[in-house]
Amino acid sequence: MGQQNGFGGGLIIGSVIGAVVGGVIGTVLATTKEKQIAGIDSYKLQKVPKGQEMPFSTEESIELARNGLETKIAQLNLAIDDVRQQLETVKASSEED
């Protein structure tokens, strides 16, 4: 009976510690990834209020839109690569068990 009481307390303490450690690791990884994405995100599209003309010619606006889309694609590729690495790590650790 004594072990059952210790198990419940250990489970709760382990859950709290795991949540804290997971939160810290997640924050560090998210900050690192955000800095990588910010380095790629060098092009910004300007929003033009309704009723005003775009300050760019059609070709310039198309080029800006294309650059913006390329930036978004690069961000998505980084996110996909990150998830792929995380899944490979989880898969490798589960195969070892």
Q: What is the pLDDT of residues 29-51, one digit of tens each?
A: 888 777 776 665 444 445 555 66
Helix (H) / strand (E) containing 23 = helix 2-40
d(CA 85, CA 5): 39
Residues 6+ apart with CB under 8 A from 56: 64
Low-confidence ranges of the chain (pLDDT < 70): 1-5, 37-56, 97
